[in-house]
Structure 1
Amino acid sequence: MPHHRSLHTTLDQLYASRSQQHLANDPLSFCHRYHDPADQEVAALIAAVFAYGSVKVIKGSLFRIFSSMGDSPTGFVDDFDPKKQRQLCSGFKHRFNNENDLAALFWAIRLMRQQCGSIEGFFSQFHKADAVTVEQGLNGFCSAVLGLDYQPVFGKSGLTRESSFRFLFPAPAGGSACKRLCMFLRWVVRPADGIDLGLWHQVHPAQLIIPVDRHIERIGRMLGLTSRQTPDWRMATEITAALRLFDPQDPVKYDFSLCHLGISEGCNGTRSACCQTCPVAQHCSTV
C-alpha cells in the first residue's frame, strides 16, 4: 500500500481526535443513555438494525422506539407480549420496515435472552474463538434469528419469505456487507473508549469486519484501502485487511472517525472546501 507509514500515522491521529459531537450525530449515542450493560446491549442491536437512511430519519425513528421502551430496554423486551403490547408499535414506519417488524425485533430479543441470557450468549453459539473473522458467527446468528418462532407476532404463517423483517438480518453468505450488524458488533466488542461500549468478551476486536456504509465505501477507495466498486462482503473484508496492517488487534477502531468524515464533516467524494481542513486529504485520490 502506498504511503503506508504516513497513512498509519494520519489514521492514528484521526482516531485520537474523535469527538463527542460526532457521537451525538450517531445512532450509537442512544446506547449511551443507559448505564446497565444489559440495557446497552439491547439498545445497541435495536439502534444498529434501523441505522439505514439519513441521520435525521434514523434518529427520529430511534427516538420514537426508545421513548416507548421506558427506562430499561431489557425490562421492556423481557416482558414484551406481541398481543398485549402491539399498540406500542402502532404506526411505526422506518423506510422498508413497519410496526410488525419492530414487534418482531422486540420478540426476537426476548427469545434470545430467554434462551441464552443475553444477545452475546445467543451469538456465541455460532462464533468460534479461533475464527479469523466474525463471518461464520454472523451467518449462524442471522440464520438462527430468522429461524425463531414468530407466530405470536405474525400469526400462523410465521415469518414468510417476503417479510421485510428479513432485511434487518442479512448474512455474509448472501454477499451482503452486513453494515448494520458489523456496526453493532463494533459497538459491543471494541473496548469501552468513550465511543464504543466494550460489552462482549466472547468475540475479539481482531475478528471484527468494518461496517461498509456509503461513506466507508467512498473513503476506502479514495485512500486506496480497496479497489472494489461494489459495497459487498468482499469489499468489507478487503478494507478490513488493509486496516489490519495498521493495527492487527483492533483494525476496526478507525471506522468511527473515518465514516464521520462523511457523516459529520461533509466529505462527499469531490473536491470541496472541506478538503482544505480534512486530516486525510494528503492521502486522498481526489485532492
Structure 2
Amino acid sequence: MRSSLELKTVLDSLYAVRSQEHLANDPLSFCHRYADPRDQEIAGLIASSFAYGNVKIIKKNLAWIFDRMGDSPRRFVERLEPEQGSRLFAGFKHRFNDARDLCALLFACRTMLEQAGSVEGWLLQFHVQGEEDLTGTLSGFSEAVKSLDFTPVFGAATPPADSYFPFFFPSPASGSACKRLCMYLRWMVRPADGIDLGIWKGIRPDQLVIPVDAHIQRICRLLGFTARKQADWRMAREITAALRELDPADPVKYDFSICHLGISEGCDGKDHLKCVACPIAGLCPVGSP
C-alpha cells in the first residue's frame, strides 16, 4: 500500500485528465443530450438502470429508448400511458429486462413526478441528512419504489414472477452493492465538472458511495482500498472509506476516472503491455517494476 499522499497525488492527476472521449463511452453521456435538469434526472435514472453488461450494447439500447422518447424525457414520462408505452417499446430487450420492465420503470418515474415533482424530491423522503452515507436512503427508496401499484403496467399491483423490474432497485439491506443506483446518485449529486451534473442539492457529495462494477472491484483491490473479494455493499463502503481519506468532501470524484481505466483504456489486470502507458502503473502491483 502506497502512502495516502502518493495515492492522492496520482488519483487527483487521473481525475484532472478525464476526457470527453471517456464520457462518450459512458451511459452518462445520454444525460448530456439534454440541457434541462428536469430531463437530465429522468434520463439518468433510465440510463443507469440499463447500465449493465457490454458497454456497446448498453449504448445501443439506450439510444433506441431515447430516440423514441423525443426531445424531452420528462415530458414523455409525464404524458406516458402504459398501453402507449407497450406499443412504442414492443420487442425491446436488454439482457433479461424487457419492454414491460422498461414501461414499469417509466411508470415509476411518472408516479414520482406526480407525487413529489421530481425524482430527487421523491427520494428525499427517505434521506436523513445526518447519516454518514446513503445506506438508509437507498434501502428506503428501493423498497418504496417496489411497493408502488403497478396495475396499469402489469395488470396486478406487483410485477409478475417472470419480470425483472425489481432488478432495477436493489437494496443495501440485502447486501447488494447497488452499483447502478450509486452511479445514478453520483451523476446527480457530485458538483458539475463536465462529467457529473451536480443538479441535486439535497444530498451531500461526501454521503455518496462508490458504484462498484468489475473495473472498480479489480483496480481498487490492486490499489489496496479493499481486501474483500465479493462486490457487495460492504466492499462499496470500504472502498469509499478509503477514498474519503483522500478527499473527505468528495470521495467518489475518483470513480469515473478509475473505472474508465478498464472501460475505455482496456485495463484487465493481466496485460502488462497496457501498464506501460497507465497513469497508475507505479501504484499497482501489476504495473510496478
Instruction: Give the TM-score of the pair, scaled to structure 2.
Output: 0.97
8 Å Cα contact 2:148-2:157 kept in structure 1: no
Write the letter of the residue equivalent to 1:122.
W
CA distance in 2, matches of 1:201, 1:107: 25
Partner of 2:283: 283
Q: Which residue of 1 aligns with 2:35?
A: 35
Deviation of the 1:161 alpha carbon:
5.0
Matching residue of 2:77: 77
Tell me how far 1:210 sits from its aligned partner.
Answer: 0.2
Structure 2 match to 1:150: 150
For the residue of structure 2 that corresponds to 1:245, the secondary structure is helix
Q: Secondary structure at the match of 2:68?
A: helix
CA contact (8 A) 2:272 2:286 kept: no
Deviation at 1:265, TM superposition (A): 0.4
Q: Secondary structure at the match of 1:62?
A: helix
How many angstroms apart in 2 are the aligned matches of 1:277 and 1:79?
49
Q: 2:223 aligned with 1:214, yes or no?
A: no
C-alpha distance in 2 between matches for 1:274 and 1:120: 40
Q: Does 1:57 align with 2:57?
A: yes
Q: Secondary structure at the match of 1:125?
A: helix
Letter in 2 for 1:249: A
Residue 138 and residue 161 in structure 1: after superposition, are their counterparts in 2 closer, same or farther (change >3 A)? farther
Return structure 1 stretches of 4+ with deviation > 6 angstroms.
Answer: none
Aligned to 1:21: 21
Amino acid of the structure 1 residue aligned with 2:221: R
- Report the equivalent of 2:163: 163
What is the distance in 2 between the residues matched to 1:201 and 1:160? 36
* CA RMSD, Structure 1 to Structure 2 (Å): 1.0
Query: Which residue is equivalent to 1:229?
Result: 229
What are the superposed Cα offsets for residues 258-285 of structure 1, whole Å, 9 maximum, x if unpaired? 0000000010011421100101010102
Count, aligned residues: 287
SS for the counterpart of 1:188 is helix
Partner of 2:138: 138
Q: Give the structure 2 partner of residue 175 of structure 1.
A: 175
Contact 2:25 2:264 (8 Å CA) reproduced: yes
In structure 2, what is the equivalent of residue 8 of structure 1? 8
Q: Which amino acid aligns with 1:134?
A: L
> Unpaired runs of 5+ in structure 2?
none
CA distance in 2, matches of 1:175, 1:80: 33
Question: What is residue 196 of structure 2 aligned with on the other side?
Answer: 196
Shift of 1:73: 0.2
Cα separation, 2, equivalents of 1:45 and 1:188: 10
Distance 2:96 2:82 in 1: 20
Matches within 5 A, 1:104-143: 104-143=104-143
After superposition, what is the alpha-carbon deviation per residue over 1:52-81, rounded to whole angstroms, capped at 9, x for unaligned?
A: 001101001100010010000000000000
Task: Give the Cα separation in 2 of the matches to 1:68 and 1:135.
Answer: 34
SS at match of 1:63: helix
Q: Secondary structure at the match of 1:115?
A: helix
Cα contact 2:50–2:58 (8 A) shared by 1: yes
Code of the aligned partner of 2:6: S
Task: Give 3-state SS (helix, strand or coil) of 1:282's partner.
Answer: coil
Name the structure 2 match of 1:185. Answer: 185
- Report the Cα offset of residue 117 of structure 1: 0.4
AA at the equivalent of 2:158: G
